[in-house]
């Protein structure tokens, strides 16, 4: 069974430099820092609220999947990982549903026993399943600037199709309290609830704007991560004092320049009242 989003995986050129932002400026602690020789990667996990982590991946040898990704696509978002209570049977279930698989059986990874599902079957998103073999999730830092990943935004051609695909593939339900059309942004969206986190599907309604541009240039795939903060104005001020470029708040959100975030569109929003 899939329970929650275990982590969000980013490919970066140099983890030590990336930690200058994710650990030192955002305040996320490091729980795991390990080189996996057989995969040719160094991986770091940073716990964030909502039972999830940020995973930074840096290639340490040539010719690996992560090295090729960095060469062809550059730094950026790489995969979403769902926590699995039984990765072997979840991978088998996925294959039986006709999902194109990268791993039919689990192997060892940074987050425990893992397996990957092909992005072709999941609207351009590389999906990982992970069954932790040891308790690596430490508590997030209470003082961290960002409290949780509120949602991950995925640009798709048709949100109805994407909602149906993800519901069938993973069993997540639609969150009817969010989503709709936003004429000002030229998009419509829908949310699937995944425990404390959420997947947002975004469909461009107009030709202009960043979402339409992303859809034209990259096709379907992960477009942004939205992090919740306690106080948006204070967060903006804090980041500007550290020389991070961030937009003024617009409609309750602000955008950090991708230069600071290893190429990942990062949105800050006020934490939801719970
Ligand atoms: Co991963």
pLDDT of the chain, 274 residues: tens digit per residue:
999 999 999 999 999 999 999 999 999 999 999 999 888 999 999 999 878 999 999 999 999 999 999 999 999 999 999 999 999 999 999 999 999 999 999 999 989 999 999 999 999 999 999 999 877 667 778 899 999 999 999 999 999 999 999 999 999 999 999 999 988 888 999 999 999 999 999 999 999 889 999 999 999 999 999 999 999 999 999 999 999 999 999 889 999 999 999 999 999 999 775 4
Question: What pLDDT is recorded for position 157?
Answer: 96
Residue 8 CA, ligand 1 centroid: distance in Å: 7
Question: What pLDDT is recorded for position 49?
Answer: 87
Show the CA angle centred on residue 199, arms to residues 138 and 146, nearest 5°. 40
pTM score: 0.95
In 3D space, the residue among 139, 115, 142, 118 whose CA is nearest the CA of residue 129 turns out to be 115
Question: What pLDDT is recorded for position 147?
Answer: 94
Question: What are 250's two structure tokens?
Answer: 């617009």
List strand residue ranges (DSSP E) for 12-103, in order.
32-36, 41-48, 52-59, 76-84
Question: What pLDDT is recorded for position 166?
Answer: 98
- The residue behind tokens 């995944």 is 194
Show the CA angle centred on residue 151, arms to residues 56 and 203, nearest 5°. 110
Residue 232 CA, ligand 1 centroid: distance in Å: 29
- Confirm if 267 and 254 have CB atoms less than 8 A apart: yes
Residue 159 CA, ligand 1 centroid: distance in Å: 25
Residue 111 CA, ligand 1 centroid: distance in Å: 7
- Confirm if 117 and 102 have CB atoms less than 8 A apart: yes
Residue 259 CA, ligand 1 centroid: distance in Å: 22
Ramachandran area for residue 65 (φ above 0: left; ψ -120 to 50: alpha; else beta):
alpha
Residue 81 CA, ligand 1 centroid: distance in Å: 6
Q: How far apart are CA 10 and CA 224, in angstroms?
A: 12
Q: How far apart are CA 150 and CA 274, in angstroms?
A: 13
Ramachandran area for residue 242 (φ above 0: left; ψ -120 to 50: alpha; else beta):
alpha
DSSP 226-255: EEEES-HHHHHHHHHHTT--BPPPBTTEEE
Question: What pLDDT is recorded for position 39?
Answer: 86
């Amino acid at each position: 069974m899939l329970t929650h989003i275990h982590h969000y995986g980013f490919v970066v050129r140099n983890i030590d430099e990336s930690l200058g932002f994710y650990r030192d400026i955002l305040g996320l602690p490091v729980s795991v820092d390990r080189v996996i020789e057989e995969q040719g990667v160094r991986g770091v996990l940073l716990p964030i609220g909502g039972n999830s982590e940020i995973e930074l991946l840096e290639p340490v040898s040539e010719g690996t999947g992560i090295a090729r990704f960095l060469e062809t696509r550059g730094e950026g978002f790489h995969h979403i990982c769902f926590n699995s209570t039984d990765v072997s049977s979840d991978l088998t279930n996925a294959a039986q549903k006709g999902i194109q698989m990268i791993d039919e059986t689990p192997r060892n990874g940074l987050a425990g026993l893992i397996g990957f599902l092909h992005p072709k079957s999941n609207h351009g998103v590389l999906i990982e399943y992970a069954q932790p073999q040891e308790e690596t999730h430490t508590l997030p830092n209470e003082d961290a600037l960002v409290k949780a990943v509120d949602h991950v935004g995925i640009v798709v051609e048709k949100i109805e199709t994407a909602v149906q695909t993800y519901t069938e593939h993973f069993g997540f339900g639609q969150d009817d309290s969010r989503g709709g059309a936003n004429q000002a942004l030229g998009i419509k969206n829908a949310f699937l609830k995944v425990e404390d986190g959420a997947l947002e599907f975004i469909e461009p309604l107009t030709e202009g704007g960043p979402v339409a541009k992303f859809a034209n240039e990259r096709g379907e795939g992960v477009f942004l991560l939205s992090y919740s903060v306690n106080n948006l104005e204070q967060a903006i001020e804090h980041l500007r004092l550290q020389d991070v470029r961030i937009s003024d708040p617009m409609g309750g959100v602000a955008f950090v320049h991708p230069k600071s975030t290893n190429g990942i569109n990062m949105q800050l929003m006020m934490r939801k009242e719970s």
